[in-house]
Chains A and B, each alone.
Chain A
């Protein structure tokens, strides 16, 4: 039996597809009690059914929009009504909306930072309060290789993800005394809807930049999230772990 997360309560934001969905599967397989977040209840309800049927997992749905502070508050109220403690938060939800700097609208900037960056602060605020009760926890933030090294046409996305790294490193220092660890994962080119939203040219260009010569799978990112969520990483905090197959941008 796989028990790396046995007894742990985990909230995964943006769990409906891609990396979030892969994390939900792996964590359920490892015995976690899972709180699935998404904006579309139908999508996460379907995932819940899969997890229950496949792993006999205990799964709850918390529908809220991570980009909206009021919605996050209501979501955590729902969560709080079910449990007073939380062991792991995976801040996974995010959006990609590329444009050259001269063609970025103010709305795009606000939407991207709300979904990718402010969301991490909103959710971490509530989660840290819940984790402090048991003086332990793990917060895992989904950054990006673009947030570390940048990329043409991705000033907004890259900025939003670089900020996630700053948040991770600062929160790690602030919460270490409470035994709450905070780390980030910086995926490279991963086989998700987000990657397939690129044009064929850009898709190939990205593939050519990967030393391992292939796109990564969401499951390969989920394995690193499992390490960070579990006690295997009990002395790891403030780190940004690249999962990129040796990608060079």
Chain B
């Protein structure tokens, strides 16, 4: 299974080394609203879950994504 960081890197088309918990939505041109929905689909497919709309809106950073995914029982390495 891909790591969450790898899912972010693939979905946003950026280097894996550029992914950190501090990376935030719309802080880079690659993470715009369209890419956000692509990212959400990749996260859902990767972990076999369906995210609530409120969580999609709240997923404003990589760190926040990890916290949200824990609610769904996803274990982040």
Contact = CB atoms under 8 A, between A and B. Distances in A.
Interface residues of A, number: 10
A173 interface: no
A132 B53 CA distance: 15
Contacts of B50: 76-77, 80
Contacts, number: 18
Interface string A66-96: 0000000100110010001000000000000
Contact of B37 (A73, A80, A84, A129): A129
Contacts of A76: 50
A196 interface: no
Nearest to B52: A73
Interface residues of B, number: 10
B65 interface: no
A177 interface: yes
Contacts of B9: none
Given A73-B52, A125-B53, A133 B34 contact: no
Contacts of B34: 177
Interface stretch (B11-19, B22-30, B38-46): B38-46
A67 to B, nearest CB: 17
Nearest to B54: A73
A73 B55 CA distance: 13
Interface string A96-135: 0000000000000000000000000000010001001100
B52 A133 contact: no
Contacts of A177: 34
**Chain A at the B interface: SS class:** helix
Interface in B21-73: 34, 37-38, 40-41, 44-45, 50, 52-53
Nearest to A69: B53
A73 B52 CA distance: 8
B41 A129 contact: yes
B31 to A, nearest CB: 16
B34 to A, nearest CB: 7
Nearest to A77: B50
Given A84-B45, A177-B34, A129 B52 contact: no
B52 A132 contact: no
Contacts of B37: 129, 132
Interface in A120-170: 125, 129, 132-133
Contacts of A80: 44, 50
Contacts of A133: 41, 45
B51 to A, nearest CB: 9
Given A73-B52, A77-B50, A133-B41, 5 more contacts: A76-B50, A125-B53, A129-B40, A132-B38, A133-B45
18 contacts: A73-B52, A73-B53, A76-B50, A77-B50, A80-B44, A80-B50, A84-B44, A84-B45, A125-B53, A129-B37, A129-B40, A129-B41, A132-B37, A132-B38, A132-B41, A133-B41, A133-B45, A177-B34
The 7 A-B pairs at the shortest CB distance, nearest first, are namely A80-B50, A133-B41, A77-B50, A132-B37, A125-B53, A132-B41, A84-B45
